Chain A
Amino acid sequence: MSRYFTQDHEWIDVDGETGTVGISDYAQGQLGDIVFVEVPEDGKKLTKGDDAAVVESVKAASDVYSPVSGTVIEGNPALADDPALVNSDPEGEGWFYKITLSDPSELEALMDESAYEAFVAKL
């Protein structure tokens, strides 16, 4: 399984044609206490860069963009009752949605873990 990152701080784990999307630890730290997450519905078709989810901290609302194109398999049901999972385990239990990739070649434009770490270090 490989993990990729976007410059907008989303991550995607890819296993075959299935991806799991979330926001990075850096992103949750910048947002602060997360009080609400809206995940996409099953079956929703997304194009790379589309608004896929909304994450709200005490202070502000932010859009989460889909790192790839495809069809949503499921949103993380745990986030409705416990949005703070995104703070406590952003790159694990705090995932946002699973998606079937329609164009895996889109992954080539994303960063791997070490490239993302270098990117964040310069922010």
Chain B
Amino acid sequence: MSETIDSQAHSDDDYEEPAILPLPLDAWHRAKGGRMVEFAGYHMPVQYEGIMAEHLWTREAAGLFDVSHMGQLTFTGEGVVPALEALMPADIAGLAFNRARYSLLLDAEGGILDDLMLTRQAEDRVYMVVNGATKYDDIGHMIEQLPDDITLNLMEDHALLALQGPKAVDALARLIPGVADLVFMQAAAFEWQGHALWISRSGYTGEDGFEISVPAEAAEALADALVAQPEVKPIGLGARDSLRLEAGLPLYGHDLSPETTPVMADLGFALFKRRRETADFPGAARILKEREQGAATKRVGLLVEGRQPVREGAIVVDAAGKEIGHVTSGGFAPTVGAPIAMAYVPAALAVPGTRVQLQQRGKPHDATVAALPFVPHRYFRGVK
């Protein structure tokens, strides 16, 4: 028996690259029974009790994810807002303090270099979270592009925890009063046992939840305090991937790349109105043209017939068997109870209900284009 496909992580070998540095919670994961794999240059837990159980627990209670491999950055200095706006299509100037936005780092042709979350913390201060596998490339790109008087700080002395699920608010509010007052995409500074925390009501599962930036020296104590809550279990990267897939959220390096634009990736919401009007973000001419006329290919969700998962690397074929698109993520969806996928298909097929044929390792699979997300988002947008 041998593993032929592994979309997310690679198992540890007997030898190890010497460059791998332990993250703040490395020993904590091992003590909790996490199965560690190499991911984004770190050892990370892929699962504890099992991906299926962890996935379902997160959807009904609360899951604690260590995402300390991601890059936490701060940008400071006069003019930091227009300087960052020059690199991405976000309206940062129009963003109230302590509000978060999803955005995309774009190259000159409008290709996606990374997707990210940014929060305006003050007039001239922006906090940003970028993907772990791309953080050093992002930093290189931004240092090259940003004016010299902007200071970029990689917060390597901080861990990042995500607490996700419908009961996340109950568990976290017990430890840190006040977090329940945050709404989706709002953030604020808090204090826990003398440690400064930065907490945002956001995440990558489609559920209500929080992302918590914590000084590395307090990360273990906070993780212990969180899993001591009856609603909370530790969750690995495996369930993080199946949860985000069901939530229709793209994963950089799989569903997004420099070959894809925001319009192709169906992320038009990240193109803010003021920025479309000023058309001064990288690749604006191409992206705005695609927005008007449509892109040739588009990211869609697929419901796969049968039970066999269709994963990244499978192709979309026409009636003659010719390749017309490709699957960028896929797997068994525990909450849906069936295999699902994301793929890039020709625009004419990018309509929910359209039947498409896939091919994986020479075997055909039928699928139907589905509206994203597969599982409805349950973000907390405030009491109406």
User: Out of B1, B51, B339, which one reaches A59, CB within 8 Å?
Assistant: B51
CB distance A62 to B2 under 8 Å?
Answer: yes
Question: What's the dominant secondary structure at chain B's contact region?
Answer: mixed
Residues of A within 8 A of B52 (CB): 32-33, 58
Q: Nearest chain B CB to A84's CB is how many angstroms away? A: 9
Instruction: Flag whether B213 is at the interface (Cβ < 8 A).
Output: no
A32 touches B2 (CB 8 A): no
Taken residue by residue from 21 to 44, chain A's Cβ proximity to chain B (1 for < 8 Å, 0 otherwise) reads as: 001000100001101101000000
Choose from A10, A35, A36, A59 the contact partner of B6 (Cβ within 8 Å): A59
User: Which residues of B42-57 are within 8 A (CB) of A?
Assistant: 46-47, 50-53, 55
Closest to A56 in B: B309
Q: Does A94 sit within 8 A of B, measured CB to CB?
A: no
- Nearest B residue (CB) for A6: B1
User: Does A3 lie at the interface of the complex (its beta carbon under 8 Å from any beta carbon of B)?
Assistant: no
B47: nearest chain-A partner, CB-CB = A32
Q: Would you call A36 and B1 a contact (CB within 8 A)?
A: no
Q: Is the CB of A9 within 8 A of B1?
A: yes
- Neighbouring B residues of A59 by C-beta, 8 Å: 6-9, 46, 51, 238, 331
Contact B1 A58 (CB under 8 A): no
Chain A proximity mask over B217-256: 1 for CB below 8 Å, otherwise 0: 0000000000000000000001000100000000000000
Contact, CB under 8 Å: B1 / A61? no
Residues of A within 8 A of B331 (CB): 58-59
| In the complex, A12 has a CB within 8 A of chain B | no
Distance in Å: Cβ of A53 to nearest Cβ of chain B: 9
B57 CB, min distance to chain A CBs, angstroms: 13
B293 within 8 A of partner (CB): no
Contact of B4 among A32, A33, A38, A61 (CB under 8 A): A61
Partner of B1, one of A8, A32, A33, A83: A8
Q: Which of A10, A35, A63, A80 contacts B309 (CB 8 A)?
A: A35
Indicate if the CB atoms of A33 and B51 lie closer than 8 Å.
Answer: yes
Inter-subunit contact B2/A8 (CB<8 Å)? yes
Bound Cα distance from A32 to B11, whole angstroms? 13
Minimum CB–CB distance for B334 against chain A, Å: 7
Q: Please name the residue on chain B nearest to A10 by beta carbon.
A: B1
Bound: A36/B1 CA distance, A: 15
Q: Give, as a whole number of angstroms, the nearest-CB distance from A121 to chain B.
A: 15
Please name the residue on chain A nearest to B334 by beta carbon.
A58
Indicate with 1 or 0, residue by residue over B298-310, a CB within 8 angstroms of chain A CB atoms.
Answer: 0000000001110
A54 to B361, CA, bound (A): 11
**B308–A38 touching, CB < 8 Å:** yes
In the assembled complex, the Cα of A9 lies from the Cα of B242 at a distance in Å of 27
Given A32-B47, A32-B50, A32-B238, also A55-B307 (CB < 8 A):
no
User: Within the assembled complex, what's the spacing in Å between the Cα atoms of A8 and B1?
Assistant: 5
Which residues of B (22-66) have their CB < 8 Å from a CB of A? 46-47, 50-53, 55
Choose one: B8, B242, B309; the contact of A61 (CB below 8 Å): B309
Tell me, yes or no, whether A118 is within 8 Å of chain B by CB.
no
What 0/1 readout, one digit per residue, does chain B (52-87) give for beta carbons within 8 Å of chain A? 110100000000000000000000000000000000
In contact, B5 and A60 (Cβ under 8 angstroms): yes
Which A residues, 57 to 84, have Cβ-Cβ distances below 8 Å to chain B? 57-65, 80, 83
Q: How far is the CA of A33 from the CA of B337 in the complex (A)?
A: 13
User: Shortest CB–CB separation between residue A106 and chain B, in angstroms?
Assistant: 17
Contact A62 B51 (CB under 8 A): no
* Cβ of B326 under 8 Å from chain A: no
Q: Beta-carbon contacts of B305-335 to A below 8 Å, as 1s and 0s?
A: 0011101000000000000000000011010
- Residue among B3, B5, B9, B53 with max Cβ neighbours from chain A (10 Å): B3
Cα separation A64 to B3 with both chains bound (whole Å): 9
A10 to B55, CA, bound (A): 29
How many Å from the CB of B37 to the closest CB on chain A? Answer: 10
Given A58-B332, A58-B334, A35–B2 Cβ distance below 8 Å?
A: no
Q: How far is the CA of A56 from the CA of B52 in the complex (A)?
A: 13
Which A residues lie at the B interface, using CB under 8 A? 8-10, 23, 27, 32-33, 35-36, 38, 54-65, 80, 83
Can you identify 27 A-B contacts, CB atoms within 8 angstroms?
Answer: A9-B1, A33-B50, A33-B51, A35-B339, A36-B307, A36-B308, A36-B309, A56-B308, A58-B51, A58-B52, A58-B242, A58-B332, A59-B6, A59-B8, A59-B9, A59-B238, A60-B3, A60-B5, A60-B7, A61-B5, A61-B309, A61-B311, A62-B2, A63-B2, A63-B4, A65-B2, A83-B307
Give 5 closest A-B pairs by Cβ, nearest first: A35-B332, A33-B52, A58-B51, A61-B5, A36-B308
